[in-house]
Amino acid sequence: MKTPAAHHSPGQRGRTTVRIAAWPFVGAASICLAGLLLSYRFYIKTTTGQFIDESALVEAAVVRRRIGVQSAQVLDLLPVTSVVLAVVVVLFVTLARRRWKAAGIALAAMAAANLSTQLIKAGLPDRPDLGVNTLALNSLPSGHSTLAASAAAAVFLVVSPRLRPAAAFVGGSYAIMAGISTLINQWHRPSDVVAAFFIVSFWTALAALFILRSGPRWNVWLGSGSHWASSRWWTGWSALAAVLAGVAAALLLRHVTATGGTSTISYFLVGVAQIVAAGSGLTIAGTLLLTFPVRRRSRR
């Protein structure tokens, strides 16, 4: 049985090599672009979206009073740690494994994601007045979240396929925590973080196609049982987080609506759940996109 993303041809020692098809990666990038546009349309252009988003930001003050100092420290270190993490790991992999093309593509995607975020932030108009008490200044997408997620994505792209499930989970968790920290410190609304994740995922999907095609010999997936970092548990934990976060957001919104809109931190928790659901869902998609198309199978 062939994967829909690859065409197989005979290789050495009874194995097969793969030629990567472009459509899954272009399709994934298109979905990310659609997600970005829909996020903007709902959270900026509708009263309901603005109210949910702004309420999460306002209620974050309650949490900030308790853990704001710690999360602020994380944010202060985030730009440096993100860049250092990505550069060190990518440089190590490049020198150790001689993956020059992959490193260049990954770093280019990281730069493109951060540049896109700044251009979008500067180019979008102020938030329209829809009757919600909110700052008019546009803050979408989050630059801090883009930096953290793109650094994690760069590492994810250059490591060996057997390490990618673990790298995706760790990197995705790092980006999610960074996004939640921006909300706690009231720097960004949840939609800003989600938009940043979609931007990074867009460029990651496109970069993945070129990386897989540039290194067919090392871009080989031997299955979830080939290495501890390839275990299905990594994707399983992300799936569990995405499902639980989605259910929690729905239940919290239902509860706060039923109680007449009175809330202390319910909308904040909804915002956190949205960030977790989006980050975990995109982590799963990235793992599948960079493993299954390059499965190596024995010839019978």
Distances (CA, A) of 24 to 28, 55, 173, 285, 289: 6, 37, 24, 11, 8
Domain membership flag for residue 299: no
- For 23, the domain range is 6-294
81-242-225 Cα angle (round to 5): 80
For residue 114 the two structure tokens come to 């951060």
Q: pTM of the predicted model, to two decimals? A: 0.91
Domain membership flag for residue 1: no
17 φ/ψ angles, rounded to the nearest 5 degrees: -105, 165
Domain membership flag for residue 85: yes
Instruction: Mark out the alpha helices in the chain (DSSP H runs).
Output: 23-45, 47-97, 100-123, 143-158, 164-184, 190-214, 232-258, 266-289
Give the total residue count for the chain.
Answer: 300
**pLDDT of the residue at 18:** 57
Question: What is the spatial distance between Cα 265 and Cα 245, in angstroms, rounded to a whole number?
Answer: 16
Across the chain, which has 300 residues, the per-10-residue mean pLDDT values are: 46 53 95 97 96 94 83 77 85 85 94 97 93 89 95 94 94 94 92 98 97 88 88 96 97 86 85 98 96 66
Amino acid at 67: I
User: For residue 20, what is the DSSP state?
Assistant: E
Structure-token match 């899954």, residue found: 24
pLDDT (tens digit per residue) in 33-74: 999 999 999 999 999 999 999 999 999 999 888 887 777 777
Closest to 54 measured CA to CA, from 141, 132, 151: 132
User: For residue 46, what is the DSSP state?
Assistant: S
**pLDDT of the residue at 243:** 98
Number of structural domains in the chain: 1
pLDDT (tens digit per residue) in 86-109: 888 888 888 888 889 999 999 999
Coil/strand/helix, residue 125: coil
pLDDT (tens digit per residue) in 175-191: 999 999 999 989 999 99
295 CB neighbour count, 10 Å cutoff? 18
Domain membership flag for residue 20: yes
Domain membership flag for residue 52: yes
Question: What is the spatial distance between Cα 89 and Cα 81, in angstroms, rounded to a whole number?
Answer: 12
**pLDDT of the residue at 133:** 87
Q: Are 134 and 127 in contact (CB under 8 A)?
A: yes
Domain membership flag for residue 210: yes
**pLDDT of the residue at 93:** 85
Domain membership flag for residue 300: no
**pLDDT of the residue at 38:** 97
Contact partners, residue 216, CB within 8 Å, separation at least 6: 17, 18, 19, 20
For residue 58 the two structure tokens come to 């306002």
The sign one gets for the Cα dihedral 146, 83, 171, 19 is: positive
**pLDDT of the residue at 261:** 61
